[in-house]
Structure 1
């Protein structure tokens, strides 16, 4: 019985096992294979395929093969070749949860597709909402324990396809292999594992570390090798970045730690290294190259996300090429790129009310060393009519101990070449908060010719050559008012500029040195110890129309549109001056030269000044500053020029002396022709000018010495001043042929009509006119005598020279002998009312002589009355006869026969008769003219025969009959002229 019962129990057990085996091996897998795809489709709305399901009910292993989930368009979304799960039932029972020995997933595939509209293909999956969420906790409220001894994913593939850019871009991650051991949902349990992913386009992603669920944590290392940045940009970054990455390989290795905390995840990165090689960035759509970076390495990366700290051991790169340009609209290309991207984001995003800013802890970034070597920066300015290209090559630099929150000093070093000729070095330190720095600058051999394009819109001037260099210390601090100071030296060597219109040099020098520069921008204080010009040269021309060559060089500028009205600037603080203070200890000139020409004159004037040496010291904008000048130079290597004096900047008071010696006068012929219409044939000039300005009152002392001045031919000039220059020059010359002039000029600078040029011209005109109008006074000054040499006095009716007049002619004779170019003009004058009374006696005697001549003729003797000499008896006899014939009623005779006047018989007859007869004679013009001629002849003969004056220098002028009485006596007039 017991055996039978045992047999029945055994058979029953076998039957149960058989049923169990049938259900496990066949029925359940068959039903699952049939129902599972339909259930998945019902839950997701997508088609599902499953090739086979195998279940071992004794080993509790499950195998799914050939699974695929397809979208409505037939494309697979996800799938795998084989999924194997091995359940450890015994251990699960012991654990009170689920224990899996193995989960193996072979050849899984996931296809992620982003369509042109931005939607993902997985968005089509519909999840059925259940009325209640499944309870994963046990009866005690704890989560169901899960332990997986080994999880393995082999030969997986993740496909990515993106059509949002207008073209279909794809990338495959394969093979994807993952191993994870002892994965558990229990606390204090971590699962070590490894992950490796390959990229179809090149590169790998590797991870190894451990992972835990409760709490959520992970620790390990992530490594990326040879990741193609161009492909990454195409797939993920082109919608974000405004530039295109066309080449580049990324390598990364970093240790990380993730740990769950009460306030979130604790995240740390450590021992990170990033390496980028052959990076090339261009404008979008393969535009202009922007950045070419052969190598970039970032080492020693440590990041604490929760503490917001980043520490980097070293950043280094080399041989990079950077292209930048200023667009025609004045915007830098990088600014335009990122500004355009930001603007697009602003347009796409709806306007939201401004949120209240929350205070956040700033990130702390520390970099032990940042170094770059052999960079090349190419900059082009397209805002100019002719684009300008600048290049910084061999650019290397280093920054040490950088920190965003450290106010300490950061050592900074920088050096580069400028356009392959010049160079720049910076060595110093800076701090970031607030930004400040102190650097030693060394700039050398920066050729200015490259900056020609910046000059072209303003001047028709070519920068032919010129190298700028400078050394010094620059201090900069960003505060409410920018603090900038500089101390150092600078020089501009070999400057050459050329007038593009005339193709001749305009301004140049061998060297310009500025030493002892001390600038404080905040205080507006600019100090220069010394400015030295070595062999400077300037060309200055005045054209026909009065404009200068500088006017021609200036290009007309379009007036800028007025800016909108702005708030008036704040008034400066009391006691602080905004006026800049400028001081220059000394300005020195060595071997200066200049070419000056004036074509506005009747005759062009061209002069070359050279050997200009000297200095100006004390130049300053200070109120009491006074500059001192001491300059010397030469004109045409012959004339010496000296300038010496002082000038007070605040008041304008000055005392300046200007000295010219050995100036060849023919050089200033154009100005003489313009002024008076004559060329200068010969002569030298020495000029001493002293200009004194005090309280806006000008006083000029002019001392002029002219030696051997000889005028040349006349030049037609309708605007010339009409002056007797030849006579004035002859009179002004001393015995040695020199002219000494000393004349002052005064005037008020506050007079709007004041012009020193006009005053000088007026003085010269007045001087020359005065000399010409009073030539004998000028001549008398040579004789040290104030006598009037312009007239010779005579007795009434006489042509004889008095003793004192003869002495005066002797002096005049001496002066004429010393000036052989002078000629003397003699004008004989007879004064009717003064000379004729003295001449009537001779008229009566002439009648008496004619009567005597008649008597002799009656006797047969022929004698002309001019040759008759009357005896006293003849005179008395003929006078009585003549009176009786003219006045017979007034005359009678005494008993003895003597003639007498009836009205006055007791008086002496002869004087009364002479006087009475003279009264009947009217003035005789012929006699008076003869007297005038005789007087002129006497003067001429006296000067010619005893004096030795050549007769061809003596001219008798037409006589003059003066019928009026004069207060200054009877004179013959002399005048001077110059033989032509």
Structure 2
């Protein structure tokens, strides 16, 4: 019985037949059978739409031989119809057309009959549409076929309990094939036109052999959800039904040629901060001979254009049995703008432009441990800007990596050429950087419990050479007041031997310009993977405008800089984390500006330090060695430099003559003072030579002025002046006349004239009674030495009480200062404005033999 409504349609036919009962058995032969069926409609009783509609079905040149169980049809043609099928609970609605009934027992055959066979020379189907609905999927699926045209030859024969079916001369054309999920706004897959040229089907042998399959036009939609799953993974998900077990005799498929043209793909990733959509159109694909199960390599070629920008092609061989792939890749001008959605998750930057390219050979085989690539890569017109303000963070015109070899164990690049790179590095007021500002902090993910990960071998990276042309860097330090900015541009050079391998050393040779007229050079070697183990780098900066460094001078020196030029040779040598730095600093024509209050400034008169260090040509040359342990937590190279420079300045100011002598290669033998004989204001020749040395040194330091200060000693000079005055008085009493500038010299207290003069002067100053008392006190002494002892006692008392004028000592100091100043003036090497005589003072250093007058150095106004 059939679960069908009354079929509709009209059947016409004609045939020739021959029927006989010869031999007692019926014999029937039908020939020239012609059948025409039109308007056929099949619909199940409770269905809302027909299972099949067919405008025309024609059978031509048919024959039937009942005796031989043979059916032959010349042509079977169907056209203008529609088929509809629904799958539900693993069954097709077509399966329910025939209602099951108990099979009637068949009497045994008297004799075995010939196997039943059918042969159709040509089956033709034209303009038939097909609609299929699969309700067993978690999300119901609809497959639609706008128009089907099909042709093949058929041959079937019953063998035992089975049927041998073979199709040959397969030809087909499918138009507007679509695959759509329920409630979806658009189809997941569309194929505009699919053409099959040639093929065979062997049902018993489960073999399908196709000659050529062509697909023209169409589109596929691929989506990735936030969890990383693909939409196509969920298309064939059934609602709880189990898949049938694999067939005992799986089908074998072979396809000689496949081509896909004018195809499109829309890929959307919902896992980024904002969905990213890429449109590949058109896509072209050609495949060579293909078999399933795979038996050997298959040729392929893929060409595609990215609507957002870029082209890609791949050509080579793939072996699905391996699997293995060998392909020549060519990616050109692939836009990088879609990466903005991924960058936004961890950085506040804007990727404004960028195009990538890749060209080379890709190889993958399980035995090689993974994929390998050799060729070249490039990124052009990259521009990454800060989200706030839009300033360039990093950019370049072109980056070309040639001789690139990527393997599971590492990356090897022969050369990287970087054209017009540009960057920005700013130190903020809180000592963070602009690069830190761009980063978005994300909570660290907790490691999943389980076994410890298997240690992986280190991934080694090696770059033979990096060439840089016309680079630029904008540097700023906003932590200073005023803030500092500088531009390094026209940076050219190369870096060779970059490698993460242990012990590998890279060499650098870079040159650039700083601001308008300055230059920078970087040369040397280091271990890229462990610079603390070995570094030997020289950084040289020439002709840097010092006015741009005012922020640093204000912070660390307490002065602004009006003008000047700076040259630096900074030498970094590191071995085993121990730094030995040898730095040379040259400053030309330095002019300080206004003084600035800064808690970090050196507490020292900077003008004097500059005057001490600056030569006659306006140049300051400083050798500044530094050392340190890089393992120290608080290690800072900049701190070491400033500390060393501060120590140098402090030492120079605290001992200026020593610093000056050291700078000029002169022996430092008390150059900061001139020694005088007590009571005397005349310089000795050795002291004149010392002063001459000082004057000659000052000739090499034109910004230094000499300060002369005459000094006196209360004890040494006081005693000397009293002695001279007493001797003059005693000589005068003896009738000796001295010139005004003549020294009285020593006296002989055993001389009778001197003894008489002493007694007379004592009597005048202390009285006759005092003199008589002194004589009486010595009567007990022997007469031979009595007079000498008396004279000695009287002399000491006279000397002790010798009057000293109130201005005698300061006047002596003034004479000493005048003597020094006159001598300097006589040399005619020090301008008058660089010589200053200051008020006299009591000497800080004096002895019975010498009194030292002080020399000081100061900066000229």
TM-score when normalising by structure 1: 0.74
- Is 1:530 aligned to residue 415 of structure 2? yes
SS at match of 2:615: coil
Contact 1:605 1:667 in 2 (8 A): yes
Q: CA deviation at 1:371?
A: 0.6
Structure 1 residues 213 and 799: alpha-carbon distance in aligned structure 2, compared to 1, 3 A threshold? farther
Question: Which of 803, 823, 839 matches 2:721?
Answer: 839
Native 8 Å contact 1:518 1:526 kept in 2: yes
CA contact (8 A) 1:783 1:815 kept: no
SS at match of 1:839: helix
3-state SS of paired residue (2:669): coil
| Whole-Å separation in 1 of the counterparts to 2:192 and 2:277 | 23
Structure 2 partner of 1:36: none
Aligned residues of 2:351 and 2:383 also touching (Cα < 8 A): yes
Match of 1:302 in 2: 200
CA shift for structure 1 position 891: 4.6
Match of 2:687 in 1: 805
Q: 2:42 aligns with which of 159, 162, 177?
A: 159
Aligned to 2:380: 493
Q: 1:420-459 alignment to 2 at 5 Å?
A: 421-459=309-347
1:108 maps to which residue?
none
* 1:553 counterpart (407, 431, 438): 438
Query: Is the Cα–Cα contact under 8 Å of residues 70 and 118 in structure 2 kept in the other structure?
Result: no
The residue aligned with 2:478 is 599
Contact 2:28 2:65 (C-alpha < 8 Å) held by counterparts: no
Larger mean Cα displacement after TM superposition, 186-195 or 721-730: 186-195
**SS of the residue 1:288 aligns to:** coil
SS of 1:907's equivalent?
helix
Q: CA distance change for structure 1 residues 424 and 769 in 2, over 3 Å: closer, same or farther?
A: same
Q: 1:699 aligns with which of 557, 580, 588?
A: 580
Q: For the Cα contact (< 8 Å) 1:848–1:875, is it kept in 2? A: yes
Change (3 A) 1:732 1:885: farther
* Residue 124 (structure 2) pairs with residue 223 (structure 1): yes
Asked whether the 8 Å contact 2:134–2:141 carries over to 1, the reply is no
Q: Which has the higher helix share?
A: 1
- 1:275: Cα distance to partner? 1.0
Q: TM (normalized to structure 2)?
A: 0.84
CA–CA distance in structure 2, aligned partners of residues 698 and 218 of structure 1? 95
Question: Cα distance, 1:514 vs. partner?
Answer: 0.5
The residue number in structure 2 matching 1:244 is 142
1:457 partner SS: coil
Residue 384 (1) aligns with residue 272 (2): yes
> Who is 2:103 aligned against?
none
- Counterpart-to-counterpart distance in 2, 1:436 and 1:275: 33
Q: Determine the C-alpha separation between the residues in 2 that align with 1:458 and 1:841.
A: 92
**Any gaps of 5 or more consecutive residues in structure 1?**
1-43, 45-68, 103-147, 204-211, 573-577, 853-868, 894-899
Aligned to 2:625: 744
How many angstroms apart in 1 are the aligned matches of 2:473 and 2:187? 49
String of CA shifts for 1:370-391, please: whole Å, max 9, x gaps: 0111212222333333332212
Q: Is the deviation greater in 429-438 or in 812-821?
A: 812-821
Aligned-pair CA distance for 1:534: 1.1
Shift of 1:553: 1.6
Q: In the alignment, is residue 331 of structure 1 matched against residue 218 of structure 2?
A: no
3-state SS of 2:638 partner: helix
* Separation in structure 1 between the aligned mates of residue 697 and residue 541 of structure 2, nearest angstrom: 30
Q: Summarize deviations over 1:834-893 as a string: whole Å, max 9, x none.
A: 3333233356579999999xxxxxxxxxxxxxxxx9999988743443254572333559
Change over 3 Å in CA distance of 1:759–1:814 after alignment to 2: same
Shift of 1:764: 0.7
State the Cα deviation string for residues 166-225 of structure 1 (Å, max 9, x = none). x6666545666779977566455446587666666599xxxxxxxx98524322243322
The whole-number CA distance in structure 1 between the counterparts of 2:18 and 2:204 is 43
Rounded to whole Å, the distance in 2 between the matches of 1:450 and 1:423 is 15
Q: Which 5+ residue runs of structure 2 have no aligned equivalent?
A: 85-111, 735-743, 746-752
Q: Tell me which of 135, 141, 165 is aligned to 1:267.
A: 165
Q: Report the number of matched residues.
A: 808
**CA drift at 1:501:** 1.0
Contact kept, 8 Å, 2:79 with 2:128, in 1: the verdict is: no
Which residue in the other structure is 2:499 paired with?
A: 620
The CA RMSD over aligned residues, in Å, is: 4.1
**C-alpha separation between the residues in 2 aligned to 1:278 and 1:358?**
31
The residue number in structure 2 matching 1:372 is 260
2: CA distance, partners of 1:502 / 1:847:
93
Partner of 1:890: 773
The 3 A distance-change label for structure 1 pair 639 and 378 is: same
Hey, what's the Cα distance between the residues in 1 that align with 2:360 and 2:311?
14
CA distance in 1, matches of 2:82, 2:419: 66
- Please, which of 635, 647, 651 is the counterpart of residue 770 of structure 1? 651
Q: Deviations over 1:362-421 (max 9, x none)?
A: 432211100111212222333333332212122112111112345433221111212264
Looking at structure 2, the residues matched to 270 and 667 of structure 1 have their Cα atoms a distance apart, in angstroms, of: 87
Secondary structure of 1:808's partner? helix
CA contact (8 A) 1:490 1:515 kept: yes
Q: Distance between the aligned counterparts of 1:618 and 1:289, measured in 2?
A: 54
Taking CA–CA contacts closer than 8 Å with sequence separation of 6 or more, which of the two structures ends up with the larger relative contact order? 2
Aligned with residue 825 of structure 1, among 701, 707, 714: 707
Partners in 1 of 2:552 and 2:473 — Cα distance? 19
